[in-house]
Amino acid sequence: MQNHVGIERSREAQQAQTVKIRPRWHMTVLHIVYYFIMVAFLVFYMLPFWGTVMTSFKTNSEVMTSTPITPPTEWTLEGYASAMEELGMPLMTSLVVTIFGAAGSVFLGSVCAYALSKWRFKLNNVFFIALVAATYLPFQAILIPLLQTINALNLYDNVWGLVLVHSVFGMPMCTVMMRGYYADVPDALIRQAMIDGNGMWAIYRKIVLPNTMIATITTFVFQCTSIWNEMLFALVLGGYDSKPATIALNELAGTMAAEFNVQMAGSLILALPVLVLYIFMGKYLISGQMSGAVTAS
C-alpha cells in the first residue's frame, strides 16, 4: 500500500518536472516584462531616499557641485549637527506628545473597546457606529472650534494641549482596532472571571488586558507613528515654544538658504524612529490593521 503511494508521488513529481523543463515562451516574456516594471518602480521609489541619504552626508559645498545621487567624496556629519541644533527641542516636544498622546488614546480606546465588545448596554451599537464615523471625520472641519477650546483651556502653545488633543482624537481609531481583538476573548472567560468574584474593572485588568497585550502594543505603535508624523494639529496648536519636530523640519526647509545637506539630515533624523518602529513591529502592525478591519465590518 505504502509502495503504491510512493510510486504515485514520484509520478506526480516527474510530471511537475516536465512542466518546469518546458516553459512556454510567452510566459518567459511576461516574466521579463513583470520584472522590468517592478525594478522600474523600485528605482522610482528608492532613488529619492538614496539621494536623501547621500546628500545628508555631504558638505554644503559638495551639495552644490555634485548630483544628489552620487556618493559624497568626503563623508561628514556636519549636516546632522546643524539639523540637531534646530530640531533638538522640537524632537523632545514630539517625543513627549507622541508617547503621552499615544498612551492616552490607547488607554481610552481600550476601555471603550472593552465596554463595547464585552458588555451589553442600551445603545451599544449606536455608540460604536458613532465612533467609526468619528474616525472618518476630517480634522480640518473642526479645527477652528478646537483652537478656540484649547485657547479657552489655556493650553495653546503647550505640550499638554497637544497630548490632550491626540488622546481624544486618536481614541475612535484605537477603539475600532482594539474591539476586534477583544471580541476574540471568549465570553466564557469573562463569565468565569465574574463567577470567580470579579467585577467589570477587575476582569478588564486581570483577564482582558494581559491576554491581549499584542493588541495594546500594535495599537500603541500605530498611534505613535501617526502622532509622530502628524502636522495639522502641530501647526495650529503647537505655537512657537512647543512646536513638534514636523513643523521645525518644515521651517528648516523654508528658512535656511538651500542648505540641502541639513534639510536631508533633518528629514532622516525625523524618519528614523518611525522606520525603527516599523522594522521591529511591522509584523504586529500588519496583522493588527487586518484584524481590526475584518472584525469591525
Partner 1 sequence: MAAITIKDMSVSYNKGKSYVLDKLNLTVQDGEFCVFLGPSGCGKSTAMHCVAGLLEPVDGTIHFGEELMTEVSGGKKKNFVPPQERNIAMVFQEYALYPNMTVRKNMSFALETKKAPKEEINKRVDTMAKMLSIDHLLDRRPAELSGGQRQRVALGRALVRDPQVFLLDEPLGNLDAKLRDQVRYELKKIQTQLGITTIYVTHDQTEAMTMADHIVLMKDGHIMQEGTPNELYNHPNCEFVAGFLGTPQINLFTVRVTEVNGALVLNADSFSLPVPVELVACLKPYAGKDVHLGIRPSDLLITEDGLIPAAVESIEPLGDAHLVYVRIGEQVVVVKHAEEEAPAAKSLKLSPNPAKLHLFDPSTEKRINP
Question: Contact residues for partner 1 (CB under 8 A)?
Answer: 186, 188-189, 191-199, 202, 206-207, 210-211
**Residue closer to partner 1, measured from CB, 200 or 274:** 200
**Residue closer to partner 1, measured from CB, 194 or 256:** 194
Spatial contact of 56 and 268, defined as CB atoms under 8 Å apart: yes
Least separation in angstroms between CB 196 and partner 1: 4
- Give the DSSP per-residue string, 269-285: HHHHHHHHHHHHHHHHH
CA distance 177 to 175: 5
Least separation in angstroms between CB 110 and partner 1: 16
The residue ranges of DSSP E strands in the chain, in sequence order, are: none
Least separation in angstroms between CB 206 and partner 1: 8
Helices 159-183 and 78-118, axial angle in degrees (round to 10): 50
Burial string for 137-172 (b: 16+ CB within 10 Å, else e) reads: eeeeeeeeebeeebeeeebbbbbebbbbbbbebbbb
**Measuring CA to CA, how many Å separate 100 from each of 93, 131, 163, 168, 218?**
11, 21, 6, 12, 16
**Residue closer to partner 1, measured from CB, 138 or 186:** 186
Least separation in angstroms between CB 178 and partner 1: 17
**Residue closer to partner 1, measured from CB, 211 or 250:** 211
**Residue closer to partner 1, measured from CB, 99 or 200:** 200
**Residue closer to partner 1, measured from CB, 143 or 189:** 189
**Residue closer to partner 1, measured from CB, 31 or 206:** 206
Least separation in angstroms between CB 199 and partner 1: 6
**Residue closer to partner 1, measured from CB, 210 or 254:** 210
- How would you class 180 by CB atoms within 10 Å of its CB: exposed for 0-12, middle for 13-18, buried for 19 or more? buried
Least separation in angstroms between CB 113 and partner 1: 18
Least separation in angstroms between CB 296 and partner 1: 24
Alpha helix (H) residue ranges in 119-186:
124-135, 143-152, 159-183
Least separation in angstroms between CB 183 and partner 1: 16
In 3D, which of 81, 79, 88 has the Cα closest to residue 258? 79
Spatial contact of 109 and 175, defined as CB atoms under 8 Å apart: yes
Q: Which three cell numbers stand for residue 222?
A: 500605530
Q: Which three cell numbers stand for residue 52?
A: 536623501
CA quadruple 149, 153, 158, 162: dihedral sign: negative
